[in-house]
Amino acid sequence: MTTKAPPDMRIGHVHLRVSDLERSIAFYRDVLGLTLMQRYGSKAAFLSAGGYHHHIGLNTWGSEGAPPAPTGHPGLFHTAFLFPDRASLGAALKQAIAAGVEIEGAADHGVSEAVYFSDPDGNGIEIYRDRAEAEWPRDGAGNLAIINAPLDLEALLA
């Protein structure tokens, strides 16, 4: 018998193998605004928002100096960072652009607005905000109808 996950379960953190720990700490700190909570020797670090112990772990265990994983192979597609509202998402996008991050995509999914880019090791990043559930698109039967429409980045930045 399969037990359903409790409705308040959340993904607590993501732990990534990176090739250069200092470069990755700088990216997640300076681009996404996370706070370095702890280093684990010279090979790992933990960063978070809001004082949580960590939302993202970074390590070079077996990956120091390695090239990015090849495109088209199994693995993590992206890590998504949920922002509380449109204004904070717009501010995060401005910060990423100011840091020289190349924006790879942006979409209005009906349920959310999302912007996509990659970290220095090629790990996918999504920054997004959810719309209120009452605004989510539904089909005629009331089922969720997620879309993939263009997102107006200029309006988001305004």
Residue 71 has pLDDT above 90, yes or no: no
DSSP per-residue letters across 74-105? SS---EEEEESSHHHHHHHHHHHHHTTPPP-E
pLDDT (tens digit, 9 = 90+) per residue, 80-89? 999 999 999 9
- What's the whole-model pTM score? 0.92
Specify if 96 maps to a domain. Answer: yes
* Domain extent for 32: 11-64
Q: State how many domains the chain has.
A: 2
Shared domain check, 81 and 132: yes
Specify if 72 maps to a domain. Answer: no
Q: Is the Cβ–Cβ distance between 28 and 119 less than 8 Å?
A: yes
Shared domain check, 146 and 83: yes
Shared domain check, 148 and 102: yes
Q: Give the model's confidence band at 11: pLDDT under 50 very low, under 70 low, under 90 confident, else very high.
A: confident
Shared domain check, 118 and 53: no
Shared domain check, 116 and 81: yes
Specify if 71 maps to a domain. Answer: no
Assign residue 88 the CATH number of its domain: 3.10.180.10
Residue 125 has pLDDT above 90, yes or no: yes
Shared domain check, 141 and 99: yes
Give the Cα separation of 127 and 66 in Å (integer): 26
Specify if 4 maps to a domain. Answer: no
